[in-house]
Chain A
Amino acid sequence: MSTQSTPILSVLTEDLLIRVNEKLVQDSDRKIWRLICKEFHRVDSITRKTLRVLHVEFLLTLLKNYTNLHTLDLSVCPCIEDGTITLLLHRVGHSMWARNLKVLNLSRANGLKFSGLEMLVGACKGLESVDVSYCCGFGDREAAAISGCGGLKELRMDKCLGVSDVGLAKIVVGCGRLEMLSLKWCMEISYLGVELLCKKCLELKFLDVSYLKVTSDWLRSIAALSKLEDLAMVGCPLVNDVGLQFLENGCPLLQKIDVSRCDCVSSSGLTALIRGHNGLLQIDAGYAIAEFSGNFVECMQELKNLNAIIIDGARVSDTIFQTISSNCKSLIEIGLSKCTGVTNMGIMQLVSGCVNLKTINLTCCRSITDAAISAIADSCRNLLRLKLESCNMVTEKSLGHLGLHCALLEELDLTDCFGVNDRGLERLSRCSRLLCLKLGLCTNISDTGLFYIASNCSQLHELDLYRCMGIGDDGLAALSSGCKKLRKLNLSYCFEVTDKGMKSLGYLEELSDLELRALDKITGAGLAALVTRCKRLAYLDLKYCTRVDDTGFWALAYYSRNLRQINLSYCSITDMALCMLMGNLTRLQDADLVQLTNVTVQGFDLALRACCVRIKKVKLVAALGSLISSEVLGILHARGCRIRWD
């Protein structure tokens, strides 16, 4: 091999190799590149900018190799804690890796406390973006550590329940150049903290205060942010029209507003907001506004640049569609999920004007028929995403139109549309770019229909066949040969599937999420055949797969080293296999272990002991609460693991 590769390398200089390497986008392609020869591997190491680490044990060597990293993602890497950071900073080539780091994702790194964060922040001088979302131990002290990043521009702190106004004040004072801040679910944050934020961080462009106790006072303060472009306040029960009126005259650059699920907002408040901001690009008012007043519709006329409007759950009339159609010509996305009053006529009017629509959500708009879908397909040739869940009047005709006109369609949700049949799928299969197809509860489809999809939609990476009783092993065989890129597959309650089907699924090497709930025809042999080949499997649901025995679980424990989440409830797994699983699967973070009749208390104790340092979520029967040793529970608790008692 080396004799062959030498001449190539003599022709290709390092500079050229780097250029070629930069053209590789897909992870799998890069992997192949790395494996060619040492020189290629070296080039990849130099040029690599992003790294997402899955196993903590490789972290040390990886960081030694990649010295030019811009982005480091540790969100799926368990066991990150203060000690790890010390080790990384002091043992790895004078922490070269940290020097150029700009983006750091520490989401769900529960083991990381303020001393580790402080070291990290001290070493990574150039940090611009940090994500500490869902770190349950993240509090004011940790926030104080983060505040050492003077140049920080982006910070996500979603669900950092321990952060109070004091922590926010630390960050606000320390990181005055913040442009993006997410405080979603930081329940301790009050008006005082946000008021200070609005006084100190004047560069702020994006602010997320969803689910907080946002009042009119907050909005008065926020209105002073002159550079704010995007404001998200989902599910804020105290936001009302008075508050929105403050925004009317503030935030001159506002482009996106999200007030979905804000119960006290009415169309008059939103009207005021729109009146002040004609340049709005995106409005999300799902489940916030029950009905639209005439004033609102009138105001909509001014929104010439509107890209997206989401009004889920509202009562609409044809007039609003007429207004949107004739004024918002650049509309790309519309969300009408669970809206009442959506008619064929309305949709026809809408698409006659808004021909650029790429995303249409018509979930539960039950009076929609083939006529509306045909109109959409005829007008919106660039359609990418269409959601038609529970649109029962949709038949094969609609799918025919979509297949004919919407060649670009990537995502189609047909869940619970019982008008969909094999013929329809055949017509739909013309959409060869389909990436995601949801056919859950479509009971009229069979292996034949799936065959058409499999043979034409080779790009497909997500397929939902939940409770499609007509699907069997033949369909899966077709799928495994046609859709090689499939990553997510739901086969729950497809009772016909047997070990044979499992074996064919094994050929889907990219498969990462697989739901096999209640497949009572598959056995240990089937599971073994699947897992020996699907090395990327990260999520596996085996609930109610009662016939899978220990041979299958042994194989699982041995091969599926990338498994992150597993549901074993109601399985016939025994003590030994469970302990093997929990001990061997070093990436496992979430396990549902309810109603395991063959597992003893000692078995549970041992299994939990084997994984207690890395597991983050575990579901157990409530009765076990008093039986499992308190020592194990103590360690689990100290590690930030959440136990859900069933």
Chain B
Amino acid sequence: MEPNDRLSLHAWANPSSSCNGLPRKMSLENPSFTNFNLQQQEQKWDDTSILNYGIRIEPPFHEFNQASESEYLLSSTCNNQPKVLDQEDGLNNEALQTSKSLDWDPRTMLNNLSFLEQKIHHLQDLVHLIVGRKGQALGGHDQLVTQQQQLITADLTSIIVQLISTAGSLLPSVKHKLSTGPPNGQLGELLFPPLAGMNCVPQPQHGSGSIAVQPQCVTGSKVSDQCNQMDVTGNCGTEQNLSIEEHEMKEEEDADEGENLPPGSYDILQLEKEEILAPHTHFCTICGKGFKRDANLRMHMRGHGDEYKTPAALAKPNKESSSEPVIIKRYSCPFAGCKRNKDHKKFQPLKTILCVKNHYKRTHCDKSYICSRCNTKKFSVMADLKTHEKHCGKDKWLCSCGTTFSRKDKLFGHIALFQGHTPAIPLEETKGPSVSCDKMDGNEASNKSGKHKFQLWLQCW
């Protein structure tokens, strides 16, 4: 969904921008699709002016990724069907997995170099054009000229960074210095050096630029930090996000229990077991980076430009109300005989990929995560364990009828509902009654308290 939005945003934003005439002409002159896309990217730079500096360095790599999968780009630009995208996601995934085995891919390198060549050509064209324009330029175009200068500087920077990164991918030592964690695969490896470079290289160059550049540079580096973090901790994810996401996922799965879509009113997709168990499910359509959570992907997308920072882009995509009728997608579990499998008589489809993943893990996988506190509860989804651990061993809210509750309000709701039920006071607090009587028999006192304790115990169970 998102790439489409982004691209359409471009198309829409371009005509209204102030100095679009020139690059547009250029894009028309360019025949190849990849170039066309590239051009669009450039237009974006132009439009969003200086403020984009920090991020501008990234696009080359996105485009590198996209260039290798031009088919993907094609389909997503002209075709609005999300289904294709999803399949593409899978494809991407597979590509990632196959490339894992190789340490260095000469084909990628070649792609990279040819891209660089293209880029330089393009820059050349641009400079030509500026030269031609300067001849007829009048005095009032100072701003335009500085903008163009900056544009070229940025392009050059990106080329330099790209070169460094391409070179970096050849040197294992550099690579390891830059990425502290275990690299996730070819894609991640290639991504790392430039990202790290971005933090240090462009800044001195922009030092001569306006002050307005600074904040953007900062956010740019932030994004890269985030990305770094994502990749390093890629396999387990940050804990906070995990739990939040988990709740959402559960709700989603629960919600679709009651859903009653007539069969045939939706497309059924069935992911294979391997796909379900793959660590990443969300992939950036620009740079191809994989994420476990869409929310994190959306956060990442902010680094790709201002258009991803709008509330609409940041909102959950499924909450967007589109006027066009969208074909409803539902998922089937690959496990034969499962109620969630499309061949089952009473097939109940799963709503999202996340539901599929959680369902498959919970139902058809070993429960390999064991709670370290109680050592009895087992889970197959890490987040389930985390949720459990949060409450495990904590004060249970206990009713006199023996029912336990994890939350006080639930217990009180229960008590309000049933006649005669009262909250039980946990035993641990029981202290021997502080009887300090001089005249009373010691025996009597101890009997009393013993009996009392027993009654209390009875009350609790």
- Residues of chain A touching chain B, judged by Cβ–Cβ distance below 8 Å, are 81-84, 86-87, 90, 113-116, 118-119, 140-141, 144, 147, 165-166, 169-170, 173-174, 192-193, 195-196, 199-200, 638
- Asked, given contacts A147-B422, A166-B425, whether A113 binds B433 with beta carbons under 8 Å apart, the answer is yes
- Asked, given contacts A86-B445, A196-B415, whether A174 binds B422 with beta carbons under 8 Å apart, the answer is yes
- B326: interface (CB < 8 Å): no
- B335: interface (CB < 8 Å): no
Query: Are A86 and B448 interface neighbours, CB within 8 A?
Result: yes
Question: Closest 3 CB pairs between A and B?
Answer: A83-B437, A115-B433, A166-B423
CB contacts (< 8 Å) of B435 on chain A: these are 81-83, 86, 115
What is the size, in residues, of chain B's interface with A at 8 Å between Cβ atoms? Answer: 25
Tell me, in angstroms, the Cα distance from A140 to B431 when the chains sit together.
13
Tell me, in angstroms, the Cα distance from A174 to B435 when the chains sit together.
26
Query: Are A114 and B433 interface neighbours, CB within 8 A?
Result: yes
Cβ distance B448 to chain A, nearest Cβ, rounded Å: 7
Option from A86, A114, A141, A195 in Cβ contact (under 8 Å) with B437: A86
Tell me, in angstroms, the Cα distance from A83 to B434 when the chains sit together.
9
Query: Are A113 and B439 interface neighbours, CB within 8 A?
Result: no
CB contacts (< 8 Å) of A83 on chain B: these are 435-440, 445
Given contacts A83-B440, A166-B423, A193-B412, list 14 more A-B pairs with CB under 8 A.
Answer: A82-B435, A83-B435, A84-B437, A115-B449, A118-B452, A141-B425, A141-B429, A144-B422, A165-B412, A173-B422, A192-B412, A196-B415, A199-B416, A200-B416
Tell me, in angstroms, the Cα distance from A557 to B421 when the chains sit together.
54
CB contacts (< 8 Å) of B408 on chain A: these are 165, 192
CB contacts (< 8 Å) of A119 on chain B: these are 448
CB contacts (< 8 Å) of A196 on chain B: these are 412, 415-416
CB contacts (< 8 Å) of A87 on chain B: these are 437, 439-440
- Tell me the chain B residues, 309-336 only, with Cβ under 8 Å from chain A: none
- Tell me the chain B residues, 189-213 only, with Cβ under 8 Å from chain A: none
Tell me, in angstroms, the Cα distance from A113 to B456 when the chains sit together.
14
CB contacts (< 8 Å) of B429 on chain A: these are 141
Query: Are A113 and B422 interface neighbours, CB within 8 A?
Result: no
- Asked, given contacts A86-B435, A173-B415, A200-B416, whether A115 binds B452 with beta carbons under 8 Å apart, the answer is yes
Query: Are A144 and B416 interface neighbours, CB within 8 A?
Result: no
CB-nearest residue of chain B relative to A190? B408
CB contacts (< 8 Å) of B434 on chain A: these are 81-82, 113, 638
Contact code string B14-34 (vs A, CB < 8 Å = 1, else 0): 000000000000000000000
CB contacts (< 8 Å) of A170 on chain B: these are 422-423, 425
Tell me, in angstroms, the Cα distance from A12 to B31 when the chains sit together.
130
Can you name 30 A-B pairs with beta carbons within 8 Å? A81-B436, A82-B435, A83-B436, A83-B438, A83-B440, A83-B445, A86-B445, A87-B437, A87-B439, A87-B440, A113-B434, A115-B435, A115-B448, A115-B449, A115-B452, A118-B452, A119-B448, A140-B425, A141-B425, A165-B412, A165-B423, A166-B425, A169-B423, A170-B422, A173-B420, A192-B408, A192-B409, A192-B412, A193-B412, A200-B416
Query: Are B425 and A86 interface neighbours, CB within 8 A?
Result: no
- B274: interface (CB < 8 Å): no
CB contacts (< 8 Å) of B142 on chain A: these are none
Tell me, in angstroms, the Cα distance from A174 to B415 when the chains sit together.
12
- Asked, given contacts A86-B445, A144-B425, whether A195 binds B440 with beta carbons under 8 Å apart, the answer is no
- B444: interface (CB < 8 Å): yes
CB contacts (< 8 Å) of B444 on chain A: these are 86, 90
CB-nearest residue of chain B relative to A169? B423
Cβ distance A20 to chain B, nearest Cβ, rounded Å: 39
CB-nearest residue of chain A relative to B420? A173
Cβ distance B397 to chain A, nearest Cβ, rounded Å: 9
Tell me, in angstroms, the Cα distance from A166 to B400 when the chains sit together.
12
Cβ distance B297 to chain A, nearest Cβ, rounded Å: 39
Tell me, in angstroms, the Cα distance from A165 to B452 when the chains sit together.
23
Tell me, in angstroms, the Cα distance from A140 to B422 when the chains sit together.
12
CB contacts (< 8 Å) of B440 on chain A: these are 83, 86-87
Query: Are B422 and A169 interface neighbours, CB within 8 A?
Result: yes
CB contacts (< 8 Å) of A147 on chain B: these are 422
Tell me, in angstroms, the Cα distance from A37 to B415 when the chains sit together.
58
- Asked, given contacts A87-B440, A116-B433, A140-B425, whether A169 binds B420 with beta carbons under 8 Å apart, the answer is no
Tell me, in angstroms, the Cα distance from A114 to B449 when the chains sit together.
10
Tell me, in angstroms, the Cα distance from A174 to B420 when the chains sit together.
8
Cβ distance B428 to chain A, nearest Cβ, rounded Å: 12
CB-nearest residue of chain B relative to A166? B423
Tell me, in angstroms, the Cα distance from A400 to B452 when the chains sit together.
67
Tell me, in angstroms, the Cα distance from A173 to B440 when the chains sit together.
34
CB contacts (< 8 Å) of B423 on chain A: these are 165-166, 169-170
Contact code string B393-434 (vs A, CB < 8 Å = 1, else 0): 000000000000000110010011000111101000110011
Tell me, in angstroms, the Cα distance from A86 to B442 when the chains sit together.
12
Cβ distance A641 to chain B, nearest Cβ, rounded Å: 14
Cβ distance A144 to chain B, nearest Cβ, rounded Å: 6
Cβ distance A213 to chain B, nearest Cβ, rounded Å: 15
Tell me, in angstroms, the Cα distance from A200 to B418 when the chains sit together.
10
Tell me, in angstroms, the Cα distance from A445 to B298 when the chains sit together.
83
CB-nearest residue of chain B relative to A171? B422
Tell me, in angstroms, the Cα distance from A114 to B448 when the chains sit together.
12
Option from B421, B439, B448 in Cβ contact (under 8 Å) with A173: B421
Cβ distance B37 to chain A, nearest Cβ, rounded Å: 56
Tell me, in angstroms, the Cα distance from A195 to B416 when the chains sit together.
9
CB-nearest residue of chain A relative to B412? A192
Tell me, in angstroms, the Cα distance from A170 to B398 when the chains sit together.
13
Cβ distance B446 to chain A, nearest Cβ, rounded Å: 11
Tell me, in angstroms, the Cα distance from A123 to B429 when the chains sit together.
25
Tell me, in angstroms, the Cα distance from A165 to B415 when the chains sit together.
12
- Tell me the chain B residues, 338-355 only, with Cβ under 8 Å from chain A: none
CB contacts (< 8 Å) of A86 on chain B: these are 435, 437, 440, 444-445, 448
Tell me, in angstroms, the Cα distance from A144 to B408 when the chains sit together.
17
CB-nearest residue of chain A relative to B432? A115
Cβ distance A426 to chain B, nearest Cβ, rounded Å: 59
CB-nearest residue of chain B relative to A173? B422
Tell me, in angstroms, the Cα distance from A165 to B407 when the chains sit together.
13
CB contacts (< 8 Å) of A140 on chain B: these are 425
Cβ distance A489 to chain B, nearest Cβ, rounded Å: 39
